[in-house]
């Protein structure tokens, strides 16, 4: 009898332990995925998405409402199958030439697998992590990094990334937007009007640090209303511009402001005009390359003293869908100054990719020259020649 009671007690104890261990194991395998990919403001909080997945309801609306929007993030992009948080990053003021990586969260909110075939960027200034042929299971989410490399000239830069998918699904578009701003900010950062149809207008200049500064010249002349710049130092200016009084539009693409602000001696503003658009460089079709940026800001430099600068050229054949017709486009022969106020010579050529080359060159203002300088420099390759501008304030 005692033996039977002992056996029965042992069985009950075994069952109790089995149930307890089973509950502990189930709790241990139900994990919550959090973002550990680096800078928290750049990456959305995925805890809500993971909780939704763990509950067996990957497409629930509660996941969308609970996701924390990262700093600078705006909106949600979705095609009904994929959801991306955020839809856009507003970067605000960014420095010329700076790099800005940001993290998006891509989630499959449907009940079926979704295949992302590729990501397409709107310009070479934007790069992404690879998602080519990436299959997302229902409820699965991944981090997707997009990096915007700001140009070296001021103005709003908008980079777009399109996610393409199999099965004819509507693409999803993401955006990074930043306002490339120098120590002196121009509003607007161009002349000629938004659509290039104005011949006169005004711009506002403001020192970001609040430092008083003088405008030495603008568009090749002392700007109207400025008077004696030495007596008009202030942190904000309003300048009038008239393209009829400015530089020759057939050769000059930039309306340049020169100041005595130590951190912004040269402020290049794009001239928006039919003459400075696609007609400005018709030779690009025959030589099969273009400048990534057709201006180099040398800042404040000294006469007779060389400075090392660089410019990037890229393969160009839109009519042939990028096909390389003349592979000798990348053979750089010479860099020379076309302006008598300066000399220039090639220093080195460095391949960046199959489609891009960085050209380093030495630029030297002539002894005795001083003041604002707008110099043209020519690059010659085996397929043709093209020119860009070097801007400087020379002491």
Residues 387 and 272 in one domain: no
Spell out the residues 6+ positions from residue 57 whose beta carbon is closer than 8 angstroms to its own: none
Residues 161 and 241 in one domain: no
| CA-to-CA separations, 225 to 218, 232, 265, in angstroms, rounded | 12, 10, 20
User: Which pLDDT score, from 0 to 100, does residue 6 have?
Assistant: 40
Please check whether residue 243 lies inside any domain of the structure: yes
Residues in the chain: 395
CA 151 to chain centre: 7
CATH number for position 114: 2.60.40.10
- Which of 243, 262, 280 marks a domain boundary? 280
Residues 294 and 359 in one domain: yes
Residues 69 and 161 in one domain: yes
Please calculate the CA angle 327-330-332 and round it to the nearest 5 degrees: 135
Please check whether residue 19 lies inside any domain of the structure: no
- Which of 226, 251, 280 marks a domain boundary? 280
Spell out the residues 6+ positions from residue 145 whose beta carbon is closer than 8 angstroms to its own: 101, 102, 103, 104, 128, 129
User: Which pLDDT score, from 0 to 100, does residue 67 have?
Assistant: 64
User: Which pLDDT score, from 0 to 100, does residue 221 have?
Assistant: 80
Domain extent for 276: 182-280
Residues 191 and 176 in one domain: no
Closest CA to 249 of 216, 217, 272: 272
User: Which pLDDT score, from 0 to 100, does residue 225 have?
Assistant: 52
Residues 168 and 256 in one domain: no
Residue 99, preceding peptide bond in cis (omega within 30° of 0) = no
Please check whether residue 18 lies inside any domain of the structure: no
Spell out the residues 6+ positions from residue 119 whose beta carbon is closer than 8 angstroms to its own: 128, 130, 131, 132, 144, 161, 162, 163, 164
Q: Are 370 and 303 in contact (CB under 8 A)?
A: yes
State the Cα–Cα distance between residues 259 and 263, nearest whole angstrom.
Answer: 9
Please check whether residue 27 lies inside any domain of the structure: no
- Which of 253, 280, 307 marks a domain boundary? 280
Q: The whole model's pTM is what?
A: 0.78
Q: pLDDT tens digits, residue range 347-371?
A: 999 999 999 999 999 999 999 999 9
State the Cα–Cα distance between residues 165 and 171, nearest whole angstrom.
Answer: 7
Give, for 164, the enclosing helix (H) or strand (E). Answer: strand 155-165
Residues 291 and 239 in one domain: no
State the Cα–Cα distance between residues 99 and 95, nearest whole angstrom.
Answer: 9
Please check whether residue 11 lies inside any domain of the structure: no
Residues 213 and 142 in one domain: no
User: Which pLDDT score, from 0 to 100, does residue 48 have?
Assistant: 39
Domain count across the chain? 3
Residues 168 and 258 in one domain: no
Residues 44 and 160 in one domain: yes
User: Which pLDDT score, from 0 to 100, does residue 63 have?
Assistant: 42
Residues 150 and 70 in one domain: yes
pLDDT < 50 positions in the chain: 1-42, 47-65, 226-227, 230
Residue written as token pair 């405008």: 215
Residues 378 and 301 in one domain: yes
User: Which pLDDT score, from 0 to 100, does residue 124 have?
Assistant: 84
Write the DSSP string, 67-106: SPPPTTEE--EE-SSEEEE-SEEEEEEE-TT-EEEEEEEE
| CA-to-CA separations, 315 to 242, 284, 289, in angstroms, rounded | 35, 9, 4
User: Which pLDDT score, from 0 to 100, does residue 91 have?
Assistant: 96
State the Cα–Cα distance between residues 280 and 268, nearest whole angstrom.
Answer: 17
User: Which pLDDT score, from 0 to 100, does residue 45 have?
Assistant: 53
User: Which pLDDT score, from 0 to 100, does residue 96 have?
Assistant: 95
What is the C-alpha R_g of the chain? 29
User: Which pLDDT score, from 0 to 100, does residue 346 have?
Assistant: 98
Please check whether residue 189 lies inside any domain of the structure: yes
State the Cα–Cα distance between residues 104 and 272, nearest whole angstrom.
Answer: 34
Residue 64, preceding peptide bond in cis (omega within 30° of 0) = no
């Amino acid at each position: 009898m005692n033996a039977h009671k002992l056996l029965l007690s042992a069985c009950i104890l075994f069952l109790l332990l089995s149930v307890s261990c089973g509950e502990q194991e189930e709790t241990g395998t139900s994990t919550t995925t959090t973002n550990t990919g680096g800078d928290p403001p750049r990456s959305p909080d995925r805890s809500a998405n993971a909780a939704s997945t763990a509950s067996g309801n990957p497409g629930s609306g509660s996941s969308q409402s609970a996701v924390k929007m990262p700093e600078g993030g705006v909106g949600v992009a979705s095609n009904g199958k994929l959801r991306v948080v955020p839809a856009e990053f507003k970067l605000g003021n960014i420095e010329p030439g700076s790099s800005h990586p940001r993290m998006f969260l891509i989630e499959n909110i449907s009940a079926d697998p979704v295949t992302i075939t590729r990501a397409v960027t709107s310009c070479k200034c934007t790069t992404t992590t690879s998602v080519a042929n990436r299959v997302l299971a229902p409820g699965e989410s991944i981090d997707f990094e997009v990096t915007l490399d700001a140009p070296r000239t001021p103005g709003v830069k908008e980079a777009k990334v399109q996610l393409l998918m199999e099965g004819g699904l509507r693409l999803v578009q993401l955006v990074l937007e930043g306002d490339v701003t120098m120590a002196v900010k121009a509003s607007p950062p161009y002349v000629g009007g938004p659509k290039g149809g104005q011949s006169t207008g005004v711009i506002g200049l403001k020192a970001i640090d609040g430092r008083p500064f003088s405008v030495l010249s603008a568009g090749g002349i002392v700007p109207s209303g400025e008077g004696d710049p030495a007596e008009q130092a202030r942190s904000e200016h309003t300048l009038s511009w008239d393209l009829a009084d400015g530089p020759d539009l057939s050769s000059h693409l930039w309306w340049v402001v020169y100041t005595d602000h130590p951190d912004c001696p040269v402020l290049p503003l794009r001239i928006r005009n039919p003459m400075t658009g696609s007609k400005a460089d018709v030779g690009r079709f025959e030589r099969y390359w273009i400048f990534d940026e057709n201006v180099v800001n040398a800042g404040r430099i000294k006469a007779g003293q060389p400075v090392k600068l660089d410019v990037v050229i890229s393969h160009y054949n839109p009519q042939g869908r990028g096909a390389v017709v003349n592979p000798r486009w990348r053979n750089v022969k010479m860099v020379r100054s076309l302006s008598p106020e300066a000399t220039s010579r090639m220093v080195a050529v460095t391949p960046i990719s199959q489609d891009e080359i960085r050209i380093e060159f030495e630029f030297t203002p002539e002894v005795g020259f001083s003041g604002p300088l707008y110099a043209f420099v020519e690059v010659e390759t085996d397929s043709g020649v093209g020119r860009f501008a070097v801007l400087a304030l020379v002491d």
